[in-house]
Amino acid sequence: MEFEEARPFMEKNHWGVVTTFQPDGAAHSSIIVCGAYQDQAAFVVVRGWSVKLRNLRRDPRCTVLAVSKDWCSSVSVEGEARLHDYTNTNSEEVRVMFREVYRACGDKDHSDWKEYDQAMVTQRAVIVLVRPVWVYGRLT
C-alpha cells in the first residue's frame, strides 16, 4: 500500500500507537493521537522527556499504527522519525507546525491558540514526522 492510500484513513482516524526501540532492542509502545501531515504520519510528544522521545532520539526507526474507533480497520506506517522542536527548528516555523499538526491529529481547532503555543514551549513538546518506508493495513 502507498501512503496516499492510507492518507484518507489517517485524516479521519486519530487513535493510534507508536512503537519505538529501547536500547536493548525491545519494543516500547505508547498510545498517541496521530494523523497525516505533508505525506507523513505525524504526532506530537507533549512531554519532552518521555521514553518514546528518548528512544527516537537514539534510534529514529518506529511504527505508527492508526486504528478506527471500532478497532476493525487500521493502517501501519513504518519509517524513520524526524523530530522538530524549538531547539532545532526556526521558532515561528515550529509554532506554525505545532498548530498544523494539532489540526492534522484531530477534528477541530484548539480553543486558545496562545495557551497552546505556550504549553508546547513549557512542556518541551516535539513534533514527530514519520517518513513512510513501508505502509500496510486493513481498510474496510
Note the pLDDT tens digit of each residue in 51-78: 999 999 999 999 999 999 999 999 999 9
CATH number at residue 81: 2.30.110.10
Distance separating alpha carbons of residues 43 and 79, to the nearest angstrom = 14
pLDDT at 46 over 90: no
Distance separating alpha carbons of residues 1 and 80, to the nearest angstrom = 17
What pLDDT was estimated at residue 47? 81
pTM, full prediction? 0.94
Give the torsion through C-alpha atoms of 62, 12, 89, 29, to 10 deg: -30
The number of domains in the chain is 1
Report the DSSP beta bridge partners of residue 128. Answer: 43, 83
Average pLDDT over residues 14-33: 97
Output 9 or 46, whichever has higher pLDDT.
Answer: 9
Please give the single-letter amino acid code of residue 11. E
pLDDT in tens, 84-130: 999 999 999 999 999 999 999 998 899 999 999 999 999 999 999 99
pLDDT at 31 over 90: yes
Domain that holds residue 61: 3-138
Distance separating alpha carbons of residues 96 and 32, to the nearest angstrom = 21
pLDDT band at 140 (very low <50, low <70, confident <90, very high): confident
pLDDT at 44 over 80: yes
